Amino acid sequence: MLHARAVDAAGNESTVSSYTWAIDTQAPPQPTIVSGPAQPSGVSDAQFAFSDPEAGVGYRCQLDGGGFLTCSNPQTYLGLADGTHTVLVEAVDAAGNVSNPTPPYSWLIDTVRPVVALTDTPSRVTNRTSATFSFLSNKAGSTFACALDGSGYSACTSPVLFTDLANGPHTFAVRASQLGSTGPATTYDYLRLDDRHRSPGYDRGFWAAGRGQHRIGVIYVHQQRSRLDLRLQP
């Protein structure tokens, strides 16, 4: 705080004026994109919502490698062209300090070919040996093909049921075809983890997954070797 007053030639003093300011050179924490468009998406508009641990921050968004521009929360982009798009977000506090940007959030827009949306899926972590997926296409009259864990695609209808699933990560993929055009695959990653059938010597598992550039990780704690094994699947 700074205090100041004026003194004239006769020694008369004014009232004291005060000025208070704060010095803040600490960047806010990295924000998180909490929601965004489906991957892939059959519409040309996209809306993002994000959050930051520091209250009161503003946001700047980058679309497809352009400059970071002030954006609202949620942020909506209208009329994007077909193709792959990428968004990054950074937080800005009242002092102008800027956070590190979020990891890239990438998605594909395809308004020509049929695009599948998943309407029902298993939990991201489950102990069930079966999994049911429901889905629909944005193009009427579409037919579907499904694959599990990298197996070849085969014709399927919604809902589709898989049984006798082993422990570990699984990836479901489905794509739609209409009038001779086949759209991009829509995928869903999840983990089946059943403590009764875990690998001998391994105590427990932990799983994390995300969208875009994130990966699935399964961490097993070995009881005898006292170490962590991290197994990643793209």
* Beta-carbon-side half-sphere exposure of residue 93 (alpha carbons within 13 Å): 18
Is the pLDDT assigned to residue 213 strictly greater than 80?
no
Segment 60-84, tens digit of pLDDT: 999 999 999 999 999 999 999 999 9
Same CATH topology for 32-109 and 116-233: the answer is: yes
- Considering the segment(s) 116-233 as one domain, its CATH architecture is Sandwich (2.60)
157 Cβ neighbours under 8 A, 6+ residues apart: 144
Q: Are strands 125-126 and 186-192 parallel, antiparallel or unpaired?
A: parallel
Digit-coded pLDDT (tens) for 149-208: 999 999 999 999 999 999 999 999 999 999 899 999 999 999 998 755 444 444 444 444
Domain covering 32-109, topology:
Immunoglobulin-like (2.60.40)
Task: Name 135's bridge partners.
Answer: 118
Listed by start position, the domains of the chain span 32-109, 116-233
Quick check: 94 and 56 in contact, CB under 8 A? yes
